[in-house]
Structure 1
Amino acid sequence: MEKDTLDSIELRSESVQDILTQPPHWMIRWGNTIILIILVMVLIMSYLIKYPEFVPAPIVVTSQNPPEKLEARTNSKIEKIFIKNHKEVHKNEILMVMQSTANYKDVLALKKIVDSISPSQLQSFPLNGNLTF
């Protein structure tokens, strides 16, 4: 008797029973299969179609203050370099000394003396010899 009462109890409502009794539409039945096939096709296409990792192209690198090209007026070897790599340089700063018969320390000392003299004092600058300006 208990078995009959258990069979007569409905576990689901009528609307749920209607959904469960209808067979699913073909789209629902084959939807997962179609999605899987599309996914496999995309994977196969991504393997077959190669996209280059590197694209060669000409390039010019510039900056706001591009480096200046330095050219020596004479062909000579470099005797001494006064600047370090990647150091900022300023106008009229001595960068290097080219090999010469003159002693660069004496030339720099003379330049310091000449720069300290005003143009009016240059006429009376002591020079050995008969040089005139």
Structure 2
Amino acid sequence: MFVLLIALLIGSSVAGFAEAKAPPNIILVFIDDMGWTDLSCFGNTEAKTPNIDRMAEEGIAFEQFYVNSPICSPSRVAISTGQYPQRWRITSYLAHRDNNRERGLTQWLDPKAPMLARSLKKAGYATGHFGKWHMG
């Protein structure tokens, strides 16, 4: 699994010199099982991804990055907390609750873990998560 991170800074406008510049928009996309060249903005000539290409062109697309694990749950923990997933005892996918203990894993990400979304919210951003959580 590859987690693709695209953080986008999609223009901000200023109504006048007296007003402060609006903070950039940020879109963080987690995608399971995607290779780094699966999008046309990263060189794929067969797949057409015009909307993602446009966001990458107008914003910032990280071209050199590493995932913390080839498995979705630990990768999500790492990018969401900014910490190694083993710190939170999530080193593999989180299965059924009974099996996690047998495997030495926690049942879910500790609510006390630092979270990127919380930090952004404190900075005045509106945040949301859509789709698969997969951190317990």
Q: Which has the higher strand share?
A: 1
Higher relative contact order (CA 8 A, sep 6+): 2
> Shorter-chain TM-score: which interval?
under 0.3
Between Structure 1 and Structure 2, whose CA radius of gyration is higher? 1
TM-score, structure 1 normalization: 0.19
TM-score, structure 2 normalization: 0.18
